[in-house]
Structure 1
Amino acid sequence: MDSKIAALSNLRKTDWDDQLPFVTFNYNASIHSSTKPIPFEMMYGRTPILPIDYQEDNVTISYDDGHIKKLNQFLQK
């Protein structure tokens, strides 16, 4: 847990307590070697709903020549 909190904290490690809900959810939504099932499933009787579960199947990416030109000009500066 310490390494997960440290990985999400800022450089000064002053916001570690803000990261606890994310670390706890990650821990509870992961398979554990000792218990095998996911703790979330043991507690609630179902799998957790993750943000990726709401991702659309078909994502289209548009191609914008104007943006590419502006980006190249910016990078050349």
Structure 2
Amino acid sequence: MIRLLAILATVITIYAFVECAITPQEKVRRFPKWAWLLIIVFTGGIFVGSIAWFIAGRPKRPGKGRGGPRKIIPPDDDPDFLRKL
């Protein structure tokens, strides 16, 4: 059982490290990318840094209601544009 937890912690830590390393700097949240990499590496045995990366550091995925792509409205149907006329 302990071996399984150790393997799971190692896999999660490696996955979080690689995902953080390939994420563009401008999309990383809360801390700079180098800080996240250090947090993930130095807390690898207990995988707290990896979980923190997944919760607070990695970019949010676009989805419904989360600022995804907006629908383009032509000017004659856009009430904000028509108010400005």
The two structures have a TM-score, normalised by structure 1, of 0.27
Q: Choose between structure 1 and 2 for higher RCO, CA contacts under 8 A separated by at least 6 residues.
A: 2
